[in-house]
Amino acid sequence: MAIDVERDGPVPARRGRPSGPTGSVVARALRMLDAFGPGRPALSLSDLARHAGVPLSTAHRLVAELTGWGALERDETGRYRIGLRMWELGALAPRGHALREIALPFLEDLSHVTRENVQLAVREGGELVFLERLAGSGAVPVLTRVGSRFALTATGVGLVLLAHAAAELQEEVLAAPVDRYSRFTVTDPARLRRMLADVRRDGYSVSDRQVTEDALSVGAPVHGARGRVVAAVSLVVRHGSAAPRALAPLVRTTARGISRALGS
């Protein structure tokens, strides 16, 4: 049976504050939830009020409702964290949970064979979201965190996803300032365009020390039921430990296995 994990309808170009009337209750509540991030796992009531742009009294009422529903939890210090109810809802997202479950056996095989970092990601507008990371024993440290977002222009998975995105989105991403993570990060739009063309021609991407100066990443596309690229897989190794061309067949085999399981 073919599994379709593609997103229906238009995809937003960039993640930002929740859309909608700034004064609506829903928009203000969403802005509060949007305040949390990897560097801000716990926030005070005043922090949430400031991020949502509402008076403290209004924030107190909204936070009480979000906590009662389970979207937020209050810790022993009195600060608020994302609640388990949000995790339960997130697990229902077909592009996250379903795709991850299908891909996991193939990712585990690649991890077992190489004992290196293996990653799975999807595109969300002009960014990528990591769905899974398997860390190999003694593998090079990476910045990946499951559920985190990253630029499309630097990582092995990101270059794959950008290379197979619509031309309009590619131009939008390349027209904006490109984030630099190391002295080897490619930020020149013309060079990035050539790299994206290479990805489409060769069937795999190479990110050499673009995120951290000790890591090399090779990525490959995962195709969905209708043949479109719906995700990307990458293998991240220590720079200098292996040639990209030697890693590419392993990564492409894993990506093809996941594609077949999706019904491609």
For the chain, which residues make up each domain, given as ranges? 25-83, 94-262
Q: 160: alpha, beta or left, given left = phi > 0 and alpha = psi -120 to 50?
A: alpha
- Distance of alpha carbon 75 from alpha carbon 150, whole angstroms: 28
Whether residue 22 has pLDDT greater than 50: no
CATH fourth-level superfamily of 94-262 = GAF domain (3.30.450.40)
pTM of the model: 0.71
Question: What SS3 state is found at 174?
Answer: helix
What's the average model confidence in pLDDT over 13-20?
43
The alpha-carbon radius of gyration of the chain (Å, integer) is 20
Burial of 123 (0-12, 13-18, 19+ CB in 10 A): buried
What is the reported pLDDT for 121? Answer: 95
Whether residue 3 has pLDDT greater than 50: no
Question: What SS3 state is found at 192?
Answer: helix
- Distance of alpha carbon 234 from alpha carbon 217, whole angstroms: 6
What is the reported pLDDT for 17? Answer: 44
Whether residue 168 has pLDDT greater than 70: yes
- Distance of alpha carbon 62 from alpha carbon 59, whole angstroms: 5
Confidence of residue 40 (pLDDT cuts 50, 70, 90): confident
What is the reported pLDDT for 13? Answer: 35
Whether residue 203 has pLDDT greater than 50: yes
Fold type of domain 25-83: Arc Repressor Mutant, subunit A (1.10.10)
What is the reported pLDDT for 144? Answer: 77
- Distance of alpha carbon 59 from alpha carbon 97, whole angstroms: 32
Burial of 214 (0-12, 13-18, 19+ CB in 10 A): middle
Whether residue 232 has pLDDT greater than 60: yes
Half-sphere exposure of 25 (CA within 13 A, CB side): 7
Structure tokens at 10: 């238009």
Give the chain's mean pLDDT. 86
pLDDT tens digits for 82-122?
888 887 676 666 565 678 889 999 999 999 999 999 999 99
